[in-house]
Amino acid sequence: MSFALLLPAALAALAALLLPLLIHLARRSEQRPTDFAALRWLRQKPRPRHRIRFDEWPLLLLRLLLLALLALWLARPVLHGAPDRRPYVAVMPGVAQDAIDRQALPPQARRHWLATDFPALETPAPTDTQPISSLLRQIDAELAEGVPLIVLATAQYDGADAQRPRLSREVDWRITEGATPVTMPAPRPAPQPAPPRLRIHADHAQAASVRYLRAAAIAWHAGDDDVAPADASYTLHGIDDALPGDAREVVAWLGAGSLPPALLRWVEAGGTALIEAGASLPDDTTAAPLWRDVAGETLAEGATRGQGRLLRLTRPLQPQAMPALLEADFPQRLQALLQPAQAAPSRADARAHAPLAGARAFPQSPRDLQPWLALLIALAFAAERWLATRARRGAAP
């Protein structure tokens, strides 16, 4: 494991360590002269020895520690932990238990079903259709580079994409059932759907954010003069009349707080709504990450509600908070979020659909240490207040 700082310049705050030292020097116990008779035998101008002396040094050390922790917290420490190098075994639902037992698997390997949330192999096998290709890509992205991946596949399975998945590693692809390969015709490219129509509603506080959505919509409809790329309204009133009658249009709602009931009803009827980071999802809605940046941080999350979809940005539409706004592929990434591919799961032959290698490996996100430092800062502050209270009580006459 290795320790790193995302903002090392914040360590300049360590200069504040001088403050407790100066305070303790200025507030140390004052010497009060007391006259008594023997003083007349002393010299008129004694030469006392001056030395630096700190009173209440436990309190001083605790204050220095508190400031040092604050400076370290500002520097955003992270821990690049040693990744789990154990092999990963993914088993497709449908593989029989005796077929698993006959496989020569590493004894220390992690074993999971190739299903949503990757349940442990000791749990019952999922019975519903799984998006096998998407799950393989997710495993490849979450595993550290070089970790062996073993997949136990059935001869035929549902949940395949139109193309063979390409991963960043060689996969030990094992077919557990003997079957005649299915002759699969070459997949025909699916027709590209028309870009979505975007209707934007924003309050005055979010007026500056509208331009990024409008620029993306203009890029979708470049060369199409008959289609208005995006309609923008800078008011949150009259949403009932402003909602489109066609559920295929997308409504962007740039307003903080709770969502209007009319918008929720429109989504439940089959519409798609994009809301900003300041808007709150309904309590009964559980969102899942849908868009991540190169560092693995979630940029957008979404959930189904009724027959429609509710999408929520996790960052404000500002380049400082969301640098992806200034990237060249932002219009395409936004369109993929609003208009995902509608490819239905298809049956594939395991021999002809084995994953390919050669994709780019995903970087592993470091572990953020700020929450742990925040806990230490709270404990240090509580201890400092307790010692300071004791010191004041002891100094009281």
pTM, two decimal places = 0.43
pLDDT reported for residue 183:
42
pLDDT confidence of 192, banded at 50, 70, 90? Answer: low
pLDDT reported for residue 178:
46
pLDDT reported for residue 182:
39
The residue ranking higher by pLDDT, 186 or 14, is 14
The residue ranking higher by pLDDT, 235 or 104, is 104
The residue ranking higher by pLDDT, 61 or 343, is 61
The residue ranking higher by pLDDT, 120 or 226, is 120
Closest by alpha carbon to 26, among 60, 58, 70? 60
Asked whether the predicted pLDDT for residue 242 surpasses 80, the reply is no
Q: Which residues partner with 288 through β-bridges?
A: 302
pLDDT confidence of 56, banded at 50, 70, 90? Answer: confident
206-231 residue pLDDT tens = 778 888 888 888 888 776 555 455 55
244-290 residue pLDDT tens = 666 568 888 888 888 888 888 888 888 888 998 888 888 888 888 88
Q: How far is CA 16 from CA 60, 288, 298, 368, 374, in A?
A: 13, 42, 35, 24, 18
59-101 residue pLDDT tens = 888 888 888 988 888 888 887 666 778 999 999 998 988 889 8
